[in-house]
Amino acid sequence: MSDTSRLALPYLAAGQAQKHVTVNESLRRLDALVQLSAVSATTTTQPGAPNDGDIYLLPGGKTGAAWSAMAEDALAYYRDGVWEELTPKPGWRCYVQDADAFYAHGAGGWRRMAAPEERRFIFTPGGDGVVSIYRIDTSRVQNPRTATIAGIAGDIVTLSTGDAGLFFNQSFMAGVSYVRIWNTSKTPNQPAWVRASGGADQLTVVDAAA
């Protein structure tokens, strides 16, 4: 084996001449992969004037003299005036600058990782074959109500039409900052506090409560 198994760093051979060449190659690769950071994961056109050390996560549809020959999801690493293709391993993580987000590499390629504040809903209504029932309380008066969730899309929780009136009348929602949501179809129940505003049969999640 001439390279290390994980980062493909070249080994020094016994009695090798010009050892500095091999050592410098390893240093360059480490410089690229340690604290991995990429300029973009969505840029499809090979930049004409990249900075030395720039890395891109290559998306589908990429174009360019060097990029077109590289694999989708590979790392395009620009150094010493040349683009080099680096092959990511499962489990690698990369901070993508233009998205201000971390990406993880797995069997499906690079995938954006949700930021902590985006992990608001661990609930999936209807995942057990029926419409899940959620219990929603207000933090002001702890007035319990039970409602059927018609659906969750992003940060929007939509209640069934029949239950919406329980939550979106003026007296009930007045001054309410936080609501608590339980998935009562799970064992154990999964609770979460969210800050929400009500309107049109929906709760719009503004932020997750600590």
**129 with 203, same domain?**
yes
**107 with 123, same domain?**
no
**131 with 107, same domain?**
no
- Look up residue 9 and give its two tokens: 């760093």
Provide the percentage of residues in the chain whose pLDDT is more than 90: 32
**Does the structure show a pLDDT above 90 at 62?**
yes
Model-wide pTM > 0.75: no
**152 with 201, same domain?**
yes
The count of structural domains within the chain is 2
In a domain, 79, yes or no: yes
Domain end among 86, 112, 138: 112
- Look up residue 22 and give its two tokens: 């091999």
**164 with 183, same domain?**
yes
pLDDT of residue 192: 45
Overall average pLDDT of the 145-168 stretch: 57
123 phi, psi to nearest 5 deg: -100, 145
* 155 band by pLDDT with thresholds 50, 70 and 90: low
Residue 88: give the domain boundaries: 35-112
pLDDT of residue 68: 97
Alpha-carbon distances, residue 200 vs 149, 205, 208 (angstroms): 14, 14, 21
CA-closest candidate to residue 110, choices 74, 79, 156: 74
Domain end among 112, 127, 146: 112
